[in-house]
Amino acid sequence: MWGEVGGALVVLLLSEVLDCIGISPPGKPVLINCRSPEKETFTCRWDPGFDGGLPTTHHLYYQKEDSYGMYECPDYQAAGSNSCFFNKSHTSIWVNYNITVVAINSLGSTVSDPLEVDVMYIVQPNAPENVTVSVVKTEESPHLLVKWEPPHEADTRSGWITLTYQLRVKRQNKKESEWEEYASRKQTQLIIYSLHPGEVYMVQLRCKLDHSLWSEWSTTTHTEVPDYFLKERSIWIVVTVFSAFIILLVTFTLAMKRKYVKHCLLPPVPGPKISGLDTQLLKSGRSEDILSSLMNQGFPPTIATKDQQVDYLLVFDSEQVTPDLQNGQTRTNNSIDHGCYDHSLLMEANNKEVKVGGRETVEQGYSEGLESTFRKTKSLSTDVTSHPYPQKKPFNNVTETPKQAPVSSEYRSLSHHKDLWDSLARHLDCRETVVKSQSNCNDKHLSSQNIVTPSKAIGCAEVQRWTKSIGLQVLVPKMDKRQEDYSKVSVVENDNVVLLKRETVPLNCTSCKVGGNRSEKCFQQKPCKPNMTVPAKEGVHIGSNGYVEPVTMSHTL
């Protein structure tokens, strides 16, 4: 017992001494892995570990699943240091190997952890060999043809090994470019398209068995793609054809839809619409009519209303009283004031016939005064006499006036517009409305007097009667019972005076002109002639027939 204790103490002392010196049994080796490149042989490698300061040897021992006994590695050199190579005769597939490595030095030995290996699952082939990359130049663009061979030790011919490959390509010059990977099942060549000219490409390959580990990447193969002009003819051809087709289509469509395109691009410009101007008349080319139509528009300035729908005022003799006139009778109480309006339509003279035309719509602004209405009616009259409107609304008992001013016995029966009468009546009533009238009508003067004086125009008296009946009643001289529905203008003066004359007149015809300062002035007229002409006023021309015609162009223009 004392001997054993002494022995143990000695050993302990010795190890302590040895530790102080720096030597020890070897450290534990570690088996790194075992690899089989072709499923027929395999190699195991280990890490020797700390050798303990003494020369250490390593031994590998293995045990197979289906046999008993521990065997040592058959070949320590073939695969380099710290490795064990199992050749074909020592390799069994589908058999578990239990491998351990023992490190031995003079002080002791250490056994590594066991490693269980089935060759089937430690296969890792070598990288593909003879990788050749060539640039194939074709019409459109060059491409890379990559060819390779399987590792020489792999037996693919007998079907023992089936390899699948993987290829990756990268451009060398471009920084931060990624590898492009391509797979190839069993083929030993691959074509890479869409290259950049003037670039250097790097190609790498690797392979694996069906369920094994991937091999290492093969050595990089560099290939330069020469500079070539990217013709890309085919693309341009396609683009050209396509665009030509599109253009043809568009042209055809436009040609078919000419009208619509024209309408869209060049919208029809509305022709100038001058009220009263007749394009048809212009087209007919008769200068006289054209001039007359033009002049009509200018004189007098009328407010444009709707289309030339002309309503005419009914003018009747004193015997003829229209029902409407009756209604308005109450309004005209003061017939005296009509004298102010005498410069309007009120022409006395018995043998005057008034031909009045009226517009359908009356100005809203009655306050404008009589003058406006006067003007309106005056213009209307001129319109009527001189210028027919082919597009006029047919009136009752309308017979068309001929185009030429000299009218025969044709006339129109005019319907009157109640508003116009009202306005007139109002004007008659209200003295203050005579604003614009140039006639300085002295109302008082008028009112106080009986306007009608015998010396004055009979027309005044007639006017009075006329006003009562609210109508532009034709003042027909008693002597002449003829019912004339119209009258002709003999003279127009001062923009607010119209002298009317009858077409057919007896020998003695007097005209009473009331207007302006000469409110009660009457003067004898020369023997009336139907065709008396009066010196034309500006803007007005009395035609041979007594109709007011627009002045000729030479006057006004």
Partner 1 sequence: MSRNNIKQVWALLMVLVCVELRGSGRASAAPICVHGQAGCHFLSLADLFDRVLQHSARMHSISSDLHSEFEQYVLPSRNHIGRINRHCHTATILTPNGKENAQRLAREELTEVILKLLVAWKDPLWQFHQNMVHQDDFNNFSSNKALEMSYMVHELRKGVEKVADKMQHLGMISNSLSGLSSPEALDPSSDTSGEAQAMSDHDLLYCFRRDSNKVQNYLKILKCRIVPENGC
Q: Which is nearer to partner 1, 211 or 444 (CB)?
A: 211
CA distance 25 to 19: 10
Closest distance between partner 1 and the C-beta of residue 88, in Å?
7
Cβ nearer to partner 1, comparing 91 with 404: 91
Concatenate the DSSP letters of all residues of 204-239 into one string.
EEEEE-SSS---PPPPPEEEEPPP-----HHHHHHH
Nearer to partner 1 by Cβ, of 97 and 201: the residue is: 97
- Minimum distance of partner 1 from residue 122's CB (angstroms): 13
Q: What is the residue-wise DSSP string for 519-550? A: TT-EE--PPP-TT---PPPTTEEE-TTS-EEE
Number of neighbouring beta carbons within 10 Å of residue 145 = 15
The footprint of partner 1 (CB under 8 A) covers 39-40, 65-66, 88, 91-96, 98, 116, 118, 120, 155-160, 162, 186, 210-211
Give residues with Cβ within 8 angstroms of 229, minimum separation 6. none
Instruction: Output the smallest distance, CB 136 to partner 1, in A.
Output: 26
Q: Which residues pair with 510 in a beta bridge?
A: none
Strand partners, 165: 184, 207
Which one, 15 or 156, has the nearer CB to partner 1? 156
Q: Helices (DSSP H) in 157-286: which residue ranges?
A: 233-256, 258-265, 279-284
State the minimum distance, in angstroms, from the CB of residue 102 to partner 1.
19
CA atoms of 181 and 476, how far apart (whole Å):
118
Which residue's CB is nearer to partner 1, number 66 or number 178?
66
Smallest distance from partner 1 to CB 214, Å: 17
Beta carbons within 8 Å of 459's beta carbon, 6+ residues apart: 346, 347, 348, 349, 350, 352, 475, 512, 514
Reported residue count of the chain is: 557
Q: Which is nearer to partner 1, 40 or 383 (CB)?
A: 40
Q: Give the CA distances from residue 467 to residues 160, 330, 340, 346, 366, in Å, rounded to whole numbers and listed in that order.
A: 135, 10, 12, 10, 18
Query: Measured from the CB of residue 97, what is the shortest distance to partner 1 in angstroms?
Result: 11
Q: Which is nearer to partner 1, 36 or 126 (CB)?
A: 36
- Give 42 or 466: the residue with its C-beta nearer to partner 1: 42
Beta bridge partners of 120: none
Closest approach of Cβ 9 to partner 1, in Å? 39
Nearest approach, Cβ of 40 to partner 1 (angstroms)? 6
